[in-house]
Amino acid sequence: MIKMTKETLQQTTAFLIQKGFNNPEFGIILGTGLGQLVNHITIEAEINYTEIPNFPVSTVEFHSGKLIFGTFENKKLIVMQGRFHIYEGYSPEEVTFPIRVMKALGIKVLLVSNASGAINLNFKKGELMLVEDHINLQGGSPLAFKNVSDFGERFTDMCEPYDLNLRNKTIEIANNNNIKLHRGVYTAVVGPQLETKAEYRMLKIIGTDAVGMSTVPEVIVANHLNLPVLAISVLTDECDPDNLKPVNIPEIIALAGKAEPNMITIFKALIKN
């Protein structure tokens, strides 16, 4: 397990600067099945997670495991092509270590994507949801370690975890491009197993619109670092407990890829403006 210290953070940051990761403005996390954005970037440096000191390594077969630096809409950015999850056996601090590194390298805004299941049955697979709020059911916090005060305020405020200005701009971009963009509450569970019918019913009762296994730890740490953050869920399945069928992972990956161009359009316009 990586111990979260200033020295660890400095070591990783210095290594990446040496590799050409200099003065990025934006950080982007690409979720499950969401890798096409990289094709739109003029890549200046890329490195496998396995080569980065203190970085976890993605163990999920459909997460690439690369950190990419380049130019997109004339802006410098860092892209995580593949993220880390608590269900891989990592602690919340390890899952969110890359956010701290990207902030130390200079990013001013964090854009997050994920593939998730629609609990709100008015939402259909293949559509997008702008995350307006979240519920953390992962049983822990990436801020629950002894020396957290070395990195920011221990008792981080979460009254508006997803930046309101970025959300308003996103809604405007979606309207201008005729993109169907739902708005709702994302609930993060541990996984990796999918939910039971009873769990889907519970999620609906507590106010969930979409459910997934990521995003919330990264958003908590972004708020800890006073880093404006926006998150978009690509809805890849419909979680109807009364008509539940076994999940088809290849279909989920394919649906994420099919819906991704709309997400890329939104991210492009956000970064450009």
Task: For residue 98, give Cα distances in angstroms to 38, 101, 104, 121, 218.
Answer: 18, 5, 10, 34, 9
Element (H, E) at 45: strand 42-48
Distance CA 32, CA 10 (A): 29
Reading the block at residue 9, the tokens are 């953070």
Query: pLDDT of 42-66, one tens digit each?
Result: 999 999 999 999 998 766 655 468 9
By the 10 Å C-beta count (0-12 exposed, 13-18 middle, 19+ buried), 270 is classed as middle
Q: Where are the domains of the chain?
A: 6-272
Print the SS3 string covering 174-200: HHHCCCCEEEEEEEECCCCCCCCHHHH
| Contact indicator for 213, 87 with CB cutoff of 8 Å | yes
Query: pLDDT of 210-237, one tens digit each?
Result: 999 999 999 999 999 999 999 999 999 9
pTM: 0.94
Helix axes 249-272, 164-176, angle to 10 degrees: 100
CATH number given to 6-272: 3.40.50.1580
**pLDDT of amino acid 72:** 93
